[in-house]
Amino acid sequence: MNIVINADTISVIGAVIAFISMSIALISAFISGRNLNLQKKLYKETTPNFKMNEILNSYAIYDGSNQIVRLMFYPLIMNISSKPMIIEKIRLELIGEESNVFLRPIIIDGCISDGHNVPSNSADTNWICFEINEDVYTELKVLKYELIIEDAFNNLQKVSTSWLKEVIQENENLS
């Protein structure tokens, strides 16, 4: 059995291989383009869609009867996307001379806490309240208060202040 391969047969085989290679390259490019579009969409969804530029008001309220200091902040939170935003975590970092302390907000009526919803394309202002033992607060010698808010996509926004208005309440309950 003699197999004769001439130039025409080799040309046809080469053309078929080139066509298959081109088809694989086009399919790969199409898949890469779809993957890139998906990555762009994910990036747009996970970029920070909110801003917290400043703290409009802040208080340190001393309750002499309970030995508790309530730290209250009134930030301006702006949702700049067309989707509602959920505040996943709120923390307050007290930066002291020798150490730092992180606090979670307390849940009381009229105050923002974890899970707060900010409507789309709007701004929200409301109190965020924290409590700390008066002795710990005094010993810490706070230099700066840093309010940290994190959305559902783990995007952080931080704003800080160096001072609070102090209020002393005697024989009154803070609740």
Domain residue spans of the chain:
1-46, 50-169
pLDDT digits (tens, 9 = 90+) for 64-104: 788 899 999 999 988 887 778 888 899 999 999 989 999 99
Does the structure show a pLDDT above 80 at 141? yes
Q: Report the distance separating Cα 88 and Cα 98, nearest Å.
A: 29
User: What is the H or E stretch that residue 159 is in?
Assistant: strand 156-161
Does the structure show a pLDDT above 90 at 21? yes
Per-residue confidence (pLDDT) for residue 171, from 0 to 100: 56
pLDDT more than 90, % of the chain: 35
Helix, strand, coil % (nearest 5) of the chain?
25, 45, 30
Contact 92, 73 (CB under 8 A): yes
Does the structure show a pLDDT above 90 at 26? yes
Q: Report the distance separating Cα 77 and Cα 51, nearest Å.
A: 6
Question: Which residue is associated with the tokens 């907000």?
Answer: 105
Per DSSP, which regions of 20-141 are E strands? 50-63, 68-79, 85-96, 100-103, 117-118, 122-125, 128-133
pTM of the model: 0.67
β-strand partners of 151: 87
**CATH of segment(s) 50-169:** 2.60.40
Q: Report the distance separating Cα 150 and Cα 37, nearest Å.
A: 26
Q: How far apart are the first and last CA of the chain?
A: 101
Strand pairing category for 165-169 and 50-63: parallel
